Every structure is written in C-alpha cells, then in structure tokens.
Structure 1
Amino acid sequence: MAKKVYITKSGDTWDMVAKEVYGDELYTSLLMSNNQELIEYFVFPENISITLPEIPKEESLLPDWRS
C-alpha cells in the first residue's frame, strides 16, 4: 500500500494539518512523531510532504459504530 502524504500550503501548522486530515487536532502528536525530520517546522512553507500515518485502532476517537 502506498504511503499517504499531505502536501503543505504556506502557513499550515501541525494542528491545522491534523484537523484537516484526521478531523481533530488531537492527532497532532501522531503526525509529529511520524515525521521527525520535519520537527523544526512550526509554520510550514508550501510543498512540504508530510507522511500521514494510519490511526491505530485503539487511538480512534470515533465510537465503534462510526468507524
């Protein structure tokens, strides 16, 4: 399976990406821990590739009936 990637827009931040991709800012730490090479960014320039990890089942914020 191909890795999913988010391409930043100028001004994106980690929490903005988490909200857009996963629907909740609570996944910010998941994004950051899986993209350590980008950790120096607070505000992203455009065209930076962020690898999007799968949400581990036990970390899902959705109830079972919504998954």
Structure 2
Amino acid sequence: MAKTYVTVQGDTWDKIAYETLGSEYLLPLLLDANKQYRHIIIFPGGITLNIPEVDTSIVTERPEWLGEDEDL
C-alpha cells in the first residue's frame, strides 16, 4: 500500500523527509516521487505527498569512511 503525507503549513522538504523516511538526506527520493511540487520551498497545509518505499537497511547513522572515533 502506498504511503502518503498531508502537509502542514510551514513544512519543508527536509523536515518531511526526516519525519517520513527517517533522514533528511533521503530528500531526493521524496522529490522524485512528487515532481509536481518541486517548486515549493515552504508548504501550505493540505497537500498530499507520495512517500516512496525506502530500503532502510542501507541507511546508516554514520558514513563508514568517518570511522568510529571521529565526531560528525
């Protein structure tokens, strides 16, 4: 079943990506699934966005190249 998200006044792409996909870095996937709204920067309320399926097993908290001891 396809997931959707209805915007709230003031939503932004990165906020929606973080809340629905778990990471603001997945914003490009959200944009690809909702190309008709790509011109919007700050959303009004009531727009229904498609939320793409994401394989969260490939998303990591830290980039592997950063190592264990270094801060982000």
TM-score normalised per structure 1: 0.80
Partner of 1:60: 58
Counterparts of residues 13-52 of structure 1 (less than 5 Å): 13-52=12-51
Matched, 1:7 2:6: yes
Segments of 4+ in structure 1 off by > 4 A?
none
Distance change in 2, residues 1:6/1:58 (3 Å): closer
The alignment covers a number of residue pairs equal to: 61
Pairwise CA RMSD: 2.0
> Partner of 1:17: helix, strand, or coil?
helix
Residue 60 of structure 1: how far off its partner (Å): 2.8
Residue 40 of structure 1: how far off its partner (Å): 1.1
Name the CA distance, whole Å, in 1 between partners of 2:57 and 2:37: 23
Distance change in 2, residues 1:61/1:12 (3 Å): same
Partner of 2:64: none
Name the CA distance, whole Å, in 2 between partners of 1:59 and 1:33: 20
In our comparison, the structure showing a higher alpha carbon Rg is 2
